[in-house]
Every structure is written in C-alpha cells, then in structure tokens.
Chain A
Amino acid sequence: MNVFLAAYKNELRLSLRDRNPQIIIFIFLILSSLSTLIGWLTVRNVGRIFTDVKALGLTSAPNPFTGVPSLYFTRDNVIYVILVGSLMAIVLGVQSAIRARQSETAILIKSRNVKAGTLYLGQICAIFTILMLALLLTSTLTLISIWMIQGSPMNFSVSLRYFAFLFISWLLLSGLAALGILFGSWAKNEEGAFLNPFVCWSIVVFIIPLAATGVRPIALLNPTSSFTESSGIPNWVHNILNPFMLMEHFKAIGNWLLGLESTRKINTLDFLIFACSSILALTVPYLFANRSLGKKLNV
C-alpha cells in the first residue's frame, strides 16, 4: 500500500480513538456552538436595555445594536480558536508523535524502504483532516444557529467571509499541530512533550503582547485586537516583538474577515507574518522528520 495513505489512515484511526484529544475537541465544539447563542442573547438584552433608556428619555440616539451583521454573533469564535482550538491542535500533534515513539515501530519502519518525510506527511495530513472536521462541525452548528436567530440563512458573501475565517483558523491550528509533532518528537519524556508547548503557547498569547504593546494580559479575552500606536522605545520593542504576536495577527485578520469592529485597520503585514509563520510551522517538522524518527522516550 502507498506509504502516505497507510500512515494517513493509521493516524486518523488512532487519533479518533484516543480519549485525550477527544476531551479537548468536545470542549471546543461545545464552546464554539454556544458562543453564537451567548452573543445573540447579549445583543437582545442590550437592545432591550437601550429601549428602556430611550423610554426614560435619557437618550435620543438610534439603537446601535439594531440590524447588527449576522457574523457579529460569532465574534467570540476568534477567541475560542486561540484559547481552546490552539490547545486542541497542540494536543493532537504531541499525542501523535508520542504514540509513535511509545509503540517503538521506528526500527521496523527503518528496515523498510520508507521515507520519514512521507510518513510524516501522512501523519500530519490525518491531523489536518481531524482539525478540518472539527471546524466544519462547528461551522455547521453556527450556521444553523444564525439561521434560526435571523429566520433566514446567511447570504453568500457573508457565508464566504465566515468560511474564509474558518480557513485561516484551520491554517493556524494546522501550524500548531505540526509544532506539536515537533515537540513530541524531540522531548525527552512524555511530560516534557506536553509541558513545553503549553508554556510556549502561554508566552506567545499572554506575555509577548504585554511586552510589545503594554496591554493588560486579560486583553486577550477581548475580541478586538490589542495593537496600539506608539513611538520611541516602546515602538522599537513593538517592532521587534511584532512577528511573535501571532495570535494578535490572527485576531486582527479574523475580525476583519468576520466584518467586526476593530481598533485598527488590517494591513498586509498581518497577512505576511501570519502566512510566513504558518509555512514555517508546517515545514520545519518535515525537514526534521528523518532525524526525529525513532528517537526513544525516557532516554
């Protein structure tokens, strides 16, 4: 059988059977689906509050929440991709690499005419498929929820924007899964394989944005991007750390695609940094595939 296909099928079967990634995939699906409902309930409540304020004669301004765009309800999806989706992708990647190392099949594989790179591609493509399935399931639930809320399905252009957002989410998660495989392949033991990427993730998500922009760590939970205008030394620090603020770039692109209000306009640099990071994350593990195949655990 074709090596790529065999590795793909094997990884797909084992990953879907593994209980640990299932827990995080389940949480991701639940939260992403609930976010639309929460968004809708909040907008409805604020609309009523506004009507009350108007009835009391405290304002004459039009209700800013009347006729909000359909995708406004999905604004928290961007955050859930960063918080839960990222962890889901890392877990899938690490688990895949650790499983292969625990089964110690590398000796057998190396005795055959099998290229480590092809094996890796089969493995990673299976994880890409799982991530895509999780995102498609989420999107289906979201589209149905919005249909029920509005009483009509989303129009084509809005749906297209939503699917473009899903695509960049998939790209981000795929890159993280590939890095998960790299961490899983090189760590000395299972604990380190999971711990190290989690720590790196928390630094990228919480610490770098603070150092670069001076925002508070809790700003991550805000759907709008944390970029601020600065000059002098803060600007210099910002420029150095800018390429590492991956999640902020993702948030900016995601908000732009969903048509949500943002504190700043999207620029090509966001796309460039995001695309370069994704390509780098996807190719580095491939380049190291041969050297990492058969690395023993707990040695």
Chain B
Amino acid sequence: MFKIIVIAKKEIADSFKSLRILLLILTLSVAMFASVWIGSIGFGVKMRDYNSYLTSLPLLLRSQALETPQLFPLTLLRAGIEYLEILGALLAFLIAYASIARERSNGTNLLLLSRPVSKLQIMFGKLAGLSVLWALVLLANLVTAIIAVISIGNARLTSIDYVRLIITFSIAEIYLLFWTSLALILSGRLQRVTTALFIGISAWVTVVLIFPQIGDTMDPDNQIPGGLFASLGVTKAQELRVLSHFHSFDVIRNGIEVTSITKLFERSAFAFLGIKAKYNQVPIGTVASGISSSLLGILLMISIILILAIYAGHNQKYLGRNK
C-alpha cells in the first residue's frame, strides 16, 4: 500500500509540474466557467425583460401579471456537464496516456521495474494519483460553478442543491476514472504507445460522440425542432400511448445509448441537477430510484474496467519496452 501511495504522490507532483497538463485542465475549467457564465447571462436577460414588463403594467394589474420566470440554478450547469462528458473524458484519457507513454518513451519504466515494486502497484499508484488529480480539478470546477451561478446568475442555492452538486461531481469522478483506467490499460499493454492512442481516441469518438448521436438521431421526438409531439400538440399521455406501439424500435435506440457510459453519466447528472424536467425539484431518493439502471450501468462499467486493469497489470508484457 505504501508503494502505491509513493507512486501516486509522484504522479500528482509530475502532473502539477507539466505545463501541458495544467493548460489542458485550465482549458476545461475555462470552458465550463464560460458555459455557466453564458447561461447566467441568458437568464439575466429573461429576468430583466420580465421586470421591465412588470413595471410597464399599471399598479393594479401587477397582481394579475404573468408568473415570475422560474430559475432552477443547477440547470445552468447543463453545458458544463456536457463539457465534462466530452472534453473531460478526452483529457482524462490523454493525461493518463501521456503518463505511461512518457515512462515508456524515456525508458524510466525499466528503471521502475528493476525496483521491488509490481506492475500492478505501478498501475494502481498511477490510477490513485490521477484520481486525486481529477478530484481536485472537479472540486475546483465545482467551486467555480457555484461562484458563477451565485454571482452572475444572482441565484440562491439551498443546502439540498449542494448535496445534488456533490452527488453529480462524485459520479463525474467515477466517469473520469473509467477513461483514466482505459488509458492506463491500453498504453501500458500495447506494444506501441501510439497504437494505444489510436484505439483510445477511436473508443472516445465512438462512446462519447457516435453512440449518443445515433441514439439522438433515432429519437422520433428529435426529428422536428421543438419536438415532434409538441409540434403536433400531442399530450404526454397520448405520446406514451402512441410510442407503446413502437416498443422494439425504442428498445434498440435505448440499447445503443446505454452501451455508452457517457450517456449513462449524462442521464444521471441531468436527473440529479434537475435538468431533466421529469426530475426537477424531485427528492434525491426518488431521483436515485428513477435512474437506478443508469447508476447500476456506471458501476458495472467501472467494475469491468477495473477488473481488466488488474488483469492487464498481471500481464508480463505490461509496461514493456515501447517498440
């Protein structure tokens, strides 16, 4: 255990010394902050319009005015979550890949292996170090997001909102751990580190972008801007009645989506943050039970990747010479 901690500490120290890694993390943080900022400005404009509409009304009519626009501050994080889904996954993979590639290109892997430390300990040391790094990055982003929502969006967060944020960012940590583990397996196990990069990038494109995109393309409600059923004036109950006749198509569409850990993370995050209207202002327990299959899916995928990591770490060829 001590050896794993030593390697983890070294990994964290190396990451903070690397200008490239710091720049990548900064890019993600700036993108997330900008997305919340843009969202908050949009809300601010809505509020200003409403207030000017209210002041234009005679005093007696104000009580009959349209309702104040509802602000659910956590929904402002939607684009930020999407950045975590897309860029977070890419950066988690690239940073972990670079960590192993650097060792194998410089030959320090051979020096490390000449010491009384197993390959599995090296792998889990790196995994632990990168997990701490991502936890710190997510914490920084969480604080930044809260500040942006409060200061720019003029919103007030309740204690339950903070719990929702912590749950969401914990799921994000697991999600990023998945991509980190994948990079550690591929870049340590394959003969050439660049082959690991190709396979990893291809996996990222497929899982993060293509599968969700195919699912969205196949979604009947996505075929018309504003939604097919809404444009036809069909109620939710009528929509469900019609869709029940197309169950098998929906099973295939959903099946494609749930093979992507990105989609599972998105569903969970959107539910806990109330971005998905169905779960907005719903108690956390009810949300968790509503999306239990997505949460289980994430746990299953992270378990599989960790088992594969143990298997790869036991392999003789792991961390071998780069060809």
Partners in one complex: yes
Question: Which residues of A pack against B, CB within 8 Å?
Answer: 19-20, 23-24, 27, 31, 38-39, 41-43, 45-46, 48-50, 52-53, 56, 58-59, 61, 64-65, 76, 79-80, 83-84, 87, 91, 98, 189-191, 194-195, 198-199, 202-203, 206-207, 210-211, 214, 216-218, 221-222, 298
The distance in angstroms between the C-alpha atoms of A195 and B212, with both chains bound, is 24
Q: What are 26 inter-chain pairs, A to B, with CB distance below 8 A?
A: A23-B198, A27-B205, A38-B214, A39-B217, A41-B218, A42-B217, A45-B246, A46-B223, A46-B228, A49-B228, A49-B242, A56-B241, A58-B232, A58-B233, A76-B213, A76-B217, A80-B210, A91-B198, A194-B197, A195-B197, A199-B24, A199-B27, A202-B87, A210-B31, A214-B42, A218-B86
* B197 partner residues in chain A, CB cutoff 8 A: 191, 194-195
- Residue pair A195, B94 in contact (C-beta under 8 Å): yes
Q: Indicate with 1 or 0, residue by residue over B208-251, a CB within 8 angstroms of chain A CB atoms.
A: 01101110111010011000100011100010011101100100
CB distance from B156 to the nearest CB of A (A): 24
B-side binding surface: helix, strand, loop or mixed? helix
CB within 8 A of B82: which of A39, A98, A199, A216?
Answer: A216
Most B CB within 10 A of own CB, among A48, A58, A191, A216: A191
The answer to the question of B201 belonging to the interface, with a C-beta cut-off of 8 Å to chain A, is: yes
Q: B206 — which chain A residues lie within 8 A by C-beta?
A: 27
Q: Complex: how many Å from CA A100 to CA B213?
A: 37
Q: Please, which residues of chain B bring their CB within 8 A of the CB of A214?
A: 38, 42
Q: Which residues of chain A come closer than 8 Å to B201, judged between CB atoms?
A: 87, 198
Q: Does B194 contact A (CB under 8 A)?
A: yes
- A-B contact sample (19 more), CB < 8 A, given A56-B238, A64-B224, A199-B27: A20-B198, A23-B199, A27-B205, A31-B210, A45-B246, A56-B242, A59-B233, A190-B193, A190-B194, A191-B102, A191-B197, A195-B98, A198-B90, A202-B90, A207-B31, A210-B31, A211-B34, A216-B35, A218-B85
Taking CB atoms, residues of chain A closer than 8 Å to B202 are 23-24, 27, 87
Q: Are A42 and B35 in contact (CB under 8 A)?
A: no
In angstroms, how far is the closest chain B Cβ from the Cβ of A256? Answer: 18
> How many B residues touch the partner, as a band?
35 or more
Compute how far the CA of A42 lies from the CA of B224 in the bound complex, rounded to whole angstroms. 12
A80 to B214, CA, bound (A): 11
Is B209 touching A83 in the complex (CB atoms < 8 A)? yes
* Residue from A49, A61, A207, A222 whose CB has the most chain B CB atoms within 10 Å: A49
Q: How far is the CA of A19 from the CA of B195 in the complex (A)?
A: 9
Cβ contact within 8 Å between A210 and B217: no
B105 within 8 A of A: yes
User: Taking the nearest CB of chain A, how far is it from the CB of B27, in angstroms?
Assistant: 7
In the complex, chain A residues whose CB is within 8 Å of the CB of B216: 221-222
In the complex, the answer to whether B82 meets A42 with C-beta atoms within 8 Å is no
- Could you say which residues of chain B place their CB within 8 Å of the CB of A41? 218, 249
- Give bound CA distance, A87 to B208, whole Å: 14
Q: Residue B105 contacts which of A38, A59, A65, A189 (CB distance < 8 angstroms)?
A: A189
Q: Contacts of B105 on A, CB cut-off 8 Å? A: 189-191, 298
Within 8 Å CB of A221, what residues of B? 209, 212-213, 216
Residues of B20-47 at the interface with A, using a CB-CB cut-off of 8 Å, are: 20, 24, 27, 31, 34-35, 38, 42
Residues in B with CB closer than 8 Å to A38 are 214, 217-218
Residues of A within 8 A of B238 (CB): 53, 56, 58
Q: State A49–B246 Cα separation when bound (angstroms).
A: 8
Q: Is B126 an interface residue, CB under 8 A from the partner?
A: no
Give 5 nearest A-B pairs by CB, closest first: A221-B213, A216-B79, A214-B38, A217-B82, A191-B101
B83 contacts partner chain A, Cβ-Cβ < 8 Å: yes
On chain B, the residues within 8 Å of A216 by CB distance are: 35, 78-79, 82
Across the interface, do B94 and A198 meet the contact criterion of CB distance under 8 Å? Answer: yes
Q: Are A61 and B232 in contact, with the CB atoms below 8 A?
A: yes
- Known interface pairs A23-B199, A38-B218, A221-B216; A210-B223 also in contact (CB < 8 Å): no
Chain A residues whose CB sits within 8 angstroms of the CB of B24 once the complex forms = 199
Q: List the A side residues contacting B228 at CB < 8 Å.
A: 46, 49-50
A30 and B265 CA atoms in complex are apart in Å by 26
- Residues on A with C-beta less than 8 A from B209 are 83, 221
Contacts of A59 in B (CB 8 A): 232-234
In the assembled complex, the CB of A91 is this many whole angstroms from the nearest CB of chain B, namely 7
Tell me the chain B residues, 67-122 only, with Cβ under 8 Å from chain A.
78-79, 82-83, 85-87, 90, 94, 97-98, 101-102, 105
Contact of A42 among B20, B98, B212, B218 (CB under 8 A): B218
- Measured in the bound complex, the distance between the Cα atoms of B120 and A166 in whole Å is 48
Task: Flag if B82 contacts A53 (CB, 8 Å).
Answer: no
Check A48 against B86 for contact (C-beta < 8 Å): no
B197 shortest CB reach to chain A, Å: 5
- In the complex, are the beta carbons of A194 and B249 less than 8 A apart? no
- Chain B residue nearest to A189 in the complex (CB): B105
Which residues of A are found within 8 Å of B82, using beta-carbon distances? 216-218
A64 / chain B contacts, CB cutoff of 8 Å: 224
Chain B residues with CB under 8 A of A79: 213
Residue of A nearest to B101 (CB): A191
| A42/B220 contact (C-beta < 8 A), A27-B202, A56-B238, A59-B232 known | yes
A87 to B206, CA, bound (A): 12
List A contacts of B101 (CB < 8 A): 191
State whether A206 and B83 are in contact (beta carbons under 8 Å apart), knowing that A46-B220, A214-B42 are contacts in the complex. yes
